[in-house]
Structure 1
Amino acid sequence: MKKKYQPLDFSAVSTYSLASRDNKVNIADHFAGEIRAGLSLREFATRLPRLLGAESLQAVAELVVAARQKRKPVILAIGGHVIKCGLQPVLKGLIEAGAISAVAMNGSAAIHDFEVSLIGATSEDVGAVLHAGDFGFSAETGQGMNRALAAARESGAGFGQAIGAHILAANHPHADYSLLACCVKHGIPATVHVALGTDIIHQHPEADGAVTGEMSYRDFKLLAAVVAELGDGGLWLNVGSAVLLPEVFLKALSVAQNLGHQVSNFSTANFDMIQHYRPLQNVIKRPTSGGGKGYTITGHHEINIPLLAALIHEGLAEAGLQGEEV
């Protein structure tokens, strides 16, 4: 027989005074300030709510300034979409200000950066050309990048150095928009981490897997050297890479620890339009489990990264560090 239920009588429910309750949000500590016309950037920043994503964004900007003051690395790791969002001028400004110590990217980011420097445009319409067998076969991209890698092999340079130096040496018309060229020009590590078969230059007749692999492996070793210095105040920023760069970071961190470097008490942040498993585990949680903190900022790169850069520049200016050499 099914049991018949009678509605509960709420008349005896106990209550308490609202004034006695602990609250996670209050006007004095968390609410946004008034936004009006004519605010300076600093005034705008101080009016952001001190909670959730806005608080994390401000915290990351403050960590960049603090790392700069301690002369600890700030490593920017980016996926290809960051370049396709046209953020090179923003990132270049941070490099020139000394806020970014090293840049790591995947193969697609390097390709988009190369194409922008050469013709001022990138990102072909894949769907329109895939079934015609034309996707990814631009001669200038495949020939230019593969030849630059092969030519630099004997010099001991890595992938990022080879492409950035080639862009400058070949006097690409839009070299000022190249992040790799900017890194080479300012003497900071630029590393490219490739998964063979994932990038359009791998399908060109001049592609050489041995060259590509060796040049990218050199960059992994170089990146590991920078990661080894992250401890006690450094910062790893993962922007728009859901798999490859979080994995590269974890392995670079592991090898640095294995070789005796004490890499702890540093911070990480993951910027992406959605949060994925590997960045959460391999950037936010696992690396900072020995000390430090990880931050997640969800949203569009073309909005969040300029906001972050603006906050960093303000912080550097207040600290008297704008434009100072790292």
Structure 2
Amino acid sequence: MLCFMDISKLKTYSINARKSKVDKSFLARPLPAKAGFRSFLNSLPNLLKAKELREIVAAIVCARKKKKPVLLMMGAHVVKCGLSPLVVEFLKKGIFTSVSTNGAGIIHDFELAYCGRTSEDVACTIKDGSFGMARQTAEFLNGAIADGADKGLGLGASVGRWIEAEKLRYRKLSIAAACFRLGRLLSVHVALGTDIIHQHPSCDGARTGEATLRDFRSLTEEVARLDGGGVVVNFGSAVILPEVFLKALSVARNLTGRVRDFTTVNFDMNFHYRPHQNIVTRPLDGCGRGYYILGHHEIMMPLLFQAITEAGTI
């Protein structure tokens, strides 16, 4: 036989006395046609990721007001998504104080600067062994890296210097050239064998390794300056940059005994374990704030850029 409790004896309370997580003031607001971007941003719900986006913008603006660094780390896909002009403008406005990328980042950066085009059809060219065999890409980048290494430069500065010196036709699109012109750090973190220029006889492993190690050590100095309000923004690097950042942070803390109270943000199209651990979680552990925002780079970076621009305080 089924037995039911007497629900007529339930204890209830007034909803007016209850704490609620969603208030009418948090809700989205429809906008009229031709409303400006600031109105659009203010119309977003003050909840979840929209709320976090506002907090990220505020953290970046606050960092620059305090003269603290805002470090951009990015995968090469950011360049392939057509976002180089925004990164260059971020640098010119002093929003990003340095850029870190992987070896593929400088490949797409150079090709855009050289001929205004990049990103080959891998599925097609891998069939006949022509994938990655572009002559100019390998000769220019391997030459720049070797020359820069001999001059005591890091890998990023070596590439930016050559793009500027050779006056490549579309160099205004180059993040590497912009960093070189502005005196900003571009650190390039190479895993030998992962990039098409490593296939070519012009690649010098010793010089490449020497130059990329210099960039790692320069990055540790930038990371040390995060202490007390800096920001790290990672766009789309799922493995290399999260690993590099964690090691750079360990070195910086080992040598300074500090590097606390900063903000980290990971923007990516998918959720990945390594950025979540190495960017958003492990570096902070109660001494800062980490965010993970999912969305396509070609939407999220312009949104972030315009939101910061509208803040108008840098």
- What TM-score do you get using the length of structure 1 for normalisation? 0.93
1:6 deviation in Å? 3.8
**Equivalent of 2:121 in 112, 121, 125:** 125
1:178 to 174, 193, 196: 174
| Native 8 Å contact 2:224 2:256 kept in 1 | no
How high is the sequence identity, in percent, across the aligned residues?
45
- Encode CA deviations 1:125-158: one digit per residue, 9 max, x unaligned: 1011102111111001111100111111221110
Contact 2:99–2:185 (CA<8 Å) still a contact in 1?
Answer: yes
Whether the aligned pair in 2 keeps the contact of 1:58 and 1:308 (CA below 8 Å) is no
Aligned-pair CA distance for 1:47 = 1.2
Aligned to 2:186: 190
Residue number among 264, 267, 274 corresponding to 1:268 in the alignment: 264
Greater Cα shift, 268-277 or 281-290: 281-290
Are 1:102 and 1:190, in contact at CA under 8 Å, matched by a contact in 2? yes
Of residues 86, 103, 111, the one that matches 2:99 is 103
User: 5+ unaligned residues in a row in structure 2: which ranges?
Assistant: none
Partner of residue 39, structure 1: 35
Residue 48 of structure 1 corresponds to which residue in structure 2? 44
Are the structure 2 counterparts of residues 141 and 8 from structure 1 closer, same or farther at C-alpha, using a change threshold of 3 Å? farther
Alignment partners' CA distance in 1, 2:37 and 2:140: 41
**Equivalent residue number for residue 19 of structure 2:** 22
In structure 2, relative to structure 1, the CA distance for the partners of 1:120 and 1:13 (3 Å cut) is farther
Correspondence for 2:216 among 207, 210, 220: 220
Q: Tell me the secondary structure at the aligned position of residue 292 of structure 2.
A: strand
User: Deviation at 1:38?
Assistant: 2.2
Tell me the equivalent position of 2:205.
209
The alignment yields a C-alpha RMSD, in angstroms, of 1.5
Deviation at 1:276, TM superposition (A): 0.7
1:7 to partner: Cα distance: 7.8
Deviation of residue 18 (structure 1)?
3.0
1:306 aligns with 2:302: yes
Distance 1:136 1:8, change over 3 A: farther
Q: Is the 8 A contact 2:149 2:208 kept in 1?
A: no
**The residue matched to 2:285 in structure 1 has which SS?**
helix
Q: Please tell me the residue identity of whatever aligns with 2:222.
A: V
SS in structure 1 of the partner of residue 96 of structure 2? coil
Alignment coverage as a number of residue pairs: 313
Aligned to 1:75, the other structure's residue is in SS state strand
| Segment of structure 1 superposing worse, 286-295 or 17-26 | 17-26
Which letter maps to 1:188?
A: R
Deviation digits for residues 186-226 of structure 1, max 9, x if unmatched? 11101100111111111111111111111100000000010
Letter in 1 for 2:50: A
Change (3 A) 1:208 1:16: same
**Counterpart Cα distance in 2 of 1:236 and 1:38:** 34
TM-score (norm 2): 0.96
The 3-state SS of whatever aligns with 1:289 is coil
Corresponding residue of 2:164: 168
SS of alignment partner, residue 187 of structure 2:
strand
Which residue identity is paired with 1:140? Q
* Alpha-carbon separation, structure 2, partners of 1:7 and 1:308: 58
